[in-house]
Each structure stands twice: as structure tokens, then as C-alpha cells.
Structure 1
Amino acid sequence: MNAQVVSQDSPKLLDRMRAEIRLRHYSIRTEQAYVDWARRYILFHDKRHPREMGAEEVRDFLSHLATERNVSASTQGQAKSALLFLYREVLHIELPWLDEVISAKTAKRLPVVLTQTEVRHLIGATSGTMGIIVSLLYGTGMRLLEALRLRVKDVEFERREIIVRQGKGNKDRVTVLPENLLLPLKAHLERVKALHERDLAEGFGEVQLPDALERKYPKAGRSWGWQFVFPSVSRSTDPRSGVIRRHHLYEASVQRAVREAAKLAEIAKPVSPHTLRHSFATHLLQNGYDIRTVQELLGHKDVQTTMIYTHVLNKGGRGVVSPLDR
């Protein structure tokens, strides 16, 4: 597959949008989402050029998402960010404040949390690399992509900690490395290192580096420290550069493994990799750790986000003993 070459001078609007996004070093996931929203916006208005439209058409599209499509507030917010980027950074048009947009309702739901027994059964239903990933998600509280993007250099065995780079909000943080994962993770990295050395011997072994590090340190991509802890089983072609590399494991593979493990463990609750993050936070609070510590480990900007887990802690509905039990 050839790399897609884009330019700010391209006559195609969406290619110019891609070029502006890459200039700002946004992730490929953000690029795909923003371009997709711009395409949907154009199709919604019968393929009119965005330069011929403005704030009124953007309001109509965003309101349509909320009233007709019933999208979540976060989805509508992403669409709004994409269109504002299109107008401000690509077309250089400032839109008036979109105060007439009908906002999607923000659902107030408690997170699904597993009991410690359910977690043990879930982990017991996994094996190999997937078992290590599931254990790591529960033992560290990392998001799925944070775990999959983990580099060898950021695993501190002696200090029993993991450095999470470029987490949500592009923030770094430190979380705990569970004692029970030290030996399995070391054995896993030995296998990964053998795979990396085989790639080098075959003329590959280069990994994608964040932002402009590839230009600043051209040989760093082949070094052991920068390799992904959980590399893919096969090489793939980078859609931007066209370079053949070994990327990290695909998210869907882990999501599928967790669903299958939950089924084997006969857990009736809906379980996803993110459920393990919720369980990590709740169980820490149950064990007496203060909420500020949990907030730092999770990387929450606001402690109010972490406070949601205190609602899950209340036994019997806000800690009340039912009169039936008396």
C-alpha cells in the first residue's frame, strides 16, 4: 500500500485538511475522525463546498446529530471540534459562537465495576500475551491504548512503576507496576526482544516515533528501548509514510479477548477493557487509598471525575440498610 501524500496546496479540501492535521502532529485516529466529520457535513448539505456555508449550516448539522441521530454529547463535541478546525485552520474562516446548537444530553451513568472475585475469574480465563495485557489493565488502571502504546523504556522494574506517555490530554503520568506482573512481563519482553532482533536481521525493526523525534533521532526507531511492549504479530505499512513497520497490537484484538474471557468466566455484566480501569479505581478506594492518589494514578484532570467511583463504593444504595434486612 502506498503512502498517502497530502499537501496544504492541494486542490482537494480534505487533503488540505489532512495536511494541516499532520502539521500539528495530531494522531492518525484524530485525522481519520476529523476528515470523516467534514465529509459527513458536506454530504449532509448536498455536497456544497464549506466555503459557501457558515455558522448556520454548522448549527443545523450539529443539531441534526443530537435530535435525529441521538448521538452522545462527546460524539457531538468531536464533530463540532472537527468543523471548527476545518473552518479556522483550513479555510481560515472564523465562525460566530455557535450558541443555538441543540446539545446532545450527557448521560449520567455509573461505571460497570467487577468484584475482585470476578476479576480473578476473568484473568484466569486468559493466557499468554492477552493474559498479561488484561492483568496490566487491571493492575495499573491504564486505558487500553495507553497500554498498547507502552514502550520498553517506560517500564521501570526496579522502581515498580510505569510511565504513561502522552495519555489523554497529552499528559504524562506515573502508575504502579504490580509485583505479580514482574516475572511474567520480563519473560514476555525477552520474547519481544528476540522478535525485534529477528526484524533487525531481516532489514526491518524500525518503530514509529512520536512527533518529530524521527527527524531529530533518526536511529532511535531501531533501538530496543523505543519498541512497543506489545507489538503486532505481523508488520504493516504506515499509511502516512509508507514505511513497513511492526506496530502495536490492534485494539479490537484485546477487546475481543476480554469479551471471550468474560463469557468463559460466566460474568453476566457487560465487560470491556475499560471496565478493568473502573475496577482498579474502585478497589483502590475500597482498600483505603485516598481519592487524590487514585486521581493521579488514573490521570484525571479534575477530582470530580474520580469522585464517580465513590458512588460505586456505597453498599446497599448509598450505604443504607434496607428495612427488609432488619
Structure 2
Amino acid sequence: MSSGKLLDRVREVVRRKHYSLRTEEAYVHWVQRFILYHHKRPPGEMGAAEVEAFLTHLAVDESVSASTQNQAFSAILFLYRDVLNQPLGPIQAARGRRNKRIPSVLTREEVRQVLIHMTGVHQLIAKLLYGSGLRLLEALRLRVKDIDFERRAIVVRDAKGNEDRVTMLPESLSEPLRAHLQWVKCLHEQDLARGHGAVYLPDALDRKYPNAAREWIWQYVFPSDRLSVDPRTGVVRRHHIDESGVQKAVRQAARAAGLPKRVSPHTFRHSFATHLLENGYDIRIVQELLGHKNVKTTMIYTHVLQRNGLAVRSPLD
């Protein structure tokens, strides 16, 4: 099988398993790099030794992080297990370096300064990231049905680790979000009138519930301002807002506020966790709101508190 046909086969199996477009693109990328590294040898003629050599090359020669190496390994494991049906056996490769960086966190005043330099839907998204502790893509993938105004809760579907969780909906965002959804509903009705209005549904739900894609409750909370063509199916749909626009808006707001820190949308999530801990909330509650499987992941924010001098008093003082 040629490398081109093999990559098409990878795409086919990924789609059959209903993996996301991002996963498809990542897996195809790493399988292609694996083949090129071994001078276009057919993967079916290779095995554990060649996989170990490629993963070691990534860690030693390219100094990739552990998470990047793990993504490459997942892609190649998928290739052999799910596409070629060829078991690999144990892999003993040099491991990528694990970065133990303390996250950048804003003070409450710095958060306020960034937010006041933002406007419109980007400001609303940023407030949701800080007020609910969401990752950027979690916020952008929210559907109308995921917002519970009565309980002041947000259901985060298929979060990192493929698990759902519930986090808070800030009371101060209830009215702005309701007003925003009124505008979104008008946009959706316009799309329906023009013969569109169907949204992408995960896990083949569009086949199980043929009419769901056009229902209001399944629409994105933050839809794009334009229609686009689904690269997999060719169907014209309105996807959610692109993450790059939010990232750019946050960077510009941080510069306008004159902050001497590197600020990204994820900085709001770090600040959310740190400020809750500063307010005395139990770390297990913060862990649940963030969706961390292990409390050790959440404990990084206690290091932030210590770094700020809140845990240990200097002998000079």
C-alpha cells in the first residue's frame, strides 16, 4: 500500500471511530512523519524497533515535550493497532522532557484591566473563561443546551479525558449571555430560512437523530460569523468561532493594558483556580471545577500561592 493510500486509510478509520477533525489531522501528520523518517519504508514492514527509533529521535534530537511525544506515539499505535491490525509489543524509547513550569497568573486587577480592553463576543468569552475556569475550546464548543440559567451551571461535554463535568455560570454573566443567545437565535433562524441551520453533531448523533442538527438546543453558543464547508463531508454549516480570533483579542488587550506578562486565554483558567484557592475554597472543589483527574495537577496552583509569598513569610520581614 502506497503512503498516500495508507494515509487515506488512516483518515477512513479515524472517521469511522468518530474522532475529531483535530485528532485526524494530528494522526495523519505523525504517521506521515514516521514514514518519512524511515525513508518511506512501508509501515507494514517495520515494527517496534523502528517505532522506538522514531520516538527516541523526537525526544533526543528534536527535544519535544512529553505530551508531543505521547501524541506521536498514540498516532503510531493507532496506525498499527487499528489500521494495519499488526501488534507492536512493548516500546522502550527515550522519553520526552516533562516541563514543570509554574503557570502565569493574573491578579484580580490585571484580569479587570484585560477585560475592559476587550469588547463584544470576545469579551464575553474571556469573562466565561475566567468566571467558569473553562479551557478555550471547551467554551467555544458549548451548545445552547449546556447552559443552565436556573441552576447557574455549565455542563462541559467531552472535556479533556472524554468526560463531562459541571462548572459554575457566573451570576454576573446570566443577563449578558441571555442577550447574546437572543442574537444567536435570530442568526440561526436566518440560516434555517436560507436552507442551512444544521450544525455539526458529534458521535454520529446526526444519523441517530436526523432532525437534531437543526434544533435550537444543539446550536453553538458562540457561532462563527460566516458559513463554512465541512472538510470531511462537504456540507455547508456554521461552525463555532475560531479560537485564533479569541487568542489574538486577548493578546491585544493585554498589550493595551500594559501588562508585563505573557497572557493567553488559558491564563484566565489559571487565574480562576488560583483566586478560588486564595479565597479559601477546598482544593478538591477546585479540582472538580477544573476537571482534573488527579489532585496533583490542581496542586500546581498552591505553588503559585507560595511563589507570591502568601504561604511563607520572608525572614527579612
Q: Where on the TM-score scale, by shorter chain, does this alignment land: which range?
A: over 0.9
**Residue 71 (str. 1) matches residue 64 (str. 2):** yes
Residue 78 of structure 2: aligned partner: 85
Residue 54 of structure 2: aligned partner: 61
Structure 1 residue 186, shift from structure 2 partner? 0.8
Looking at structure 1, the residues matched to 312 and 231 of structure 2 have their Cα atoms a distance apart, in angstroms, of 55
1:198 to 167, 179, 190: 190
- Structure 1 contact 316–322 (Cα < 8 Å) conserved: no
2:157 to 158, 165, 177: 165
Looking at structure 2, the residues matched to 319 and 281 of structure 1 have their Cα atoms a distance apart, in angstroms, of 16
Residue 138 of structure 1: aligned partner: 130
Residue ranges of structure 1 left out of the alignment (5+ in a row) = 1-9
2:166 to 150, 174, 177: 174
Residue 90 of structure 2: aligned partner: 97
- Structure 1 contact 118–267 (Cα < 8 Å) conserved: yes
Looking at structure 1, the residues matched to 250 and 76 of structure 2 have their Cα atoms a distance apart, in angstroms, of 35
> Amino acid of the residue matched to residue 142 of structure 1?
L
Structure 1 residue 54, shift from structure 2 partner? 1.1
Looking at structure 2, the residues matched to 283 and 91 of structure 1 have their Cα atoms a distance apart, in angstroms, of 49
- Structure 1 contact 311–318 (Cα < 8 Å) conserved: no
Structure 1 residue 316, shift from structure 2 partner? 4.7
SS at structure 2 position matched to 1:70: coil
- Structure 1 contact 155–161 (Cα < 8 Å) conserved: yes
Structure 1 residue 312, shift from structure 2 partner? 0.9
Structure 1 length normalisation: TM-score? Answer: 0.94
Looking at structure 1, the residues matched to 288 and 100 of structure 2 have their Cα atoms a distance apart, in angstroms, of 23
Structure 2 length normalisation: TM-score? Answer: 0.97
C-alpha root-mean-square deviation of aligned residues, in Å? 1.3
Looking at structure 1, the residues matched to 122 and 186 of structure 2 have their Cα atoms a distance apart, in angstroms, of 19
1:282-319 deviations in Å (ceiling 9; x for gaps): 10111111111111111111111111111111265473
1:86-127 deviations in Å (ceiling 9; x for gaps): 01111111112012x111111111111110010000111101
2:201 to 197, 200, 209: 209
Structure 1 residue 19, shift from structure 2 partner? 1.1
- Structure 1 contact 163–172 (Cα < 8 Å) conserved: yes
> Amino acid of the residue matched to residue 275 of structure 2?
H
Looking at structure 2, the residues matched to 11 and 258 of structure 1 have their Cα atoms a distance apart, in angstroms, of 39
1:117 to 109, 112, 116: 109
- Structure 1 contact 72–105 (Cα < 8 Å) conserved: yes
Looking at structure 2, the residues matched to 281 and 131 of structure 1 have their Cα atoms a distance apart, in angstroms, of 19
Residue 16 of structure 1: aligned partner: 9
Residue 148 of structure 1: aligned partner: 140
> Amino acid of the residue matched to residue 187 of structure 1?
A
**Residue 251 (str. 1) matches residue 243 (str. 2):** yes
Residue 127 of structure 1: aligned partner: 119
1:184 to 176, 188, 196: 176
Structure 1 residue 183, shift from structure 2 partner? 1.1
Residue 4 of structure 1: aligned partner: none
Question: Compared with structure 1, are the counterparts of its residues 47 and 11 closer, same or farther at alpha carbon in structure 2 (3 Å cutoff)?
Answer: closer
Question: Compared with structure 1, are the counterparts of its residues 288 and 32 closer, same or farther at alpha carbon in structure 2 (3 Å cutoff)?
Answer: same
My pick for the range that moved more, 16-25 or 128-137, is 16-25
Q: How many residues align?
A: 315
| Identity of matched residues, % | 63
Looking at structure 1, the residues matched to 51 and 217 of structure 2 have their Cα atoms a distance apart, in angstroms, of 45
1:55-111 deviations in Å (ceiling 9; x for gaps): 111111111111111110000010011001101111111112012x11111111111
Looking at structure 2, the residues matched to 249 and 234 of structure 1 have their Cα atoms a distance apart, in angstroms, of 9
The ranges of structure 1 where at least 4 consecutive aligned residues each deviate by more than 6 angstroms after the TM superposition are: none
